[in-house]
Amino acid sequence: MTFGKLDEKATKLIVTPKIYFSTNRGEVSFDEKGNETKLEPIQTMEDREVILEDIVVELH
């Protein structure tokens, strides 16, 4: 991610990491001639998001 110019008065930068887990599975099948067919995605469970502890960068 790219940020614009930070405020000159800023004393710290806080980053909150978020991890998104998608449970969609995409599959393909092949026929006897080797032709590929994409199958519809399968939702095996509910998607999840985990928010990790903030990362604080002191600015001097």
Q: Within a domain: residue 1?
A: no
The overall pTM is greater than 0.75? no
DSSP 19-36: EEE--EE--EEE-TT--E
Q: Within a domain: residue 30?
A: yes
Q: What is the total count of domains within the chain?
A: 1
Q: Within a domain: residue 46?
A: yes
pLDDT of residue 21: 80
Q: Within a domain: residue 45?
A: yes
Q: Within a domain: residue 2?
A: no
pLDDT of residue 24: 67
Q: pLDDT of 2-59, one tens digit each?
A: 878 888 899 999 999 999 887 766 677 888 888 888 877 766 677 788 999 999 999 9
Q: Within a domain: residue 26?
A: yes
pLDDT of residue 43: 65
Domain containing 43 equals: 12-58
pLDDT of residue 44: 65
Under 8 Å CB-to-CB from 26, ≥6 apart: which residues? Answer: 38, 39, 41
Q: Which of 1, 4, 29 is nearest to 15 (CA)?
A: 1
Q: Within a domain: residue 6?
A: no
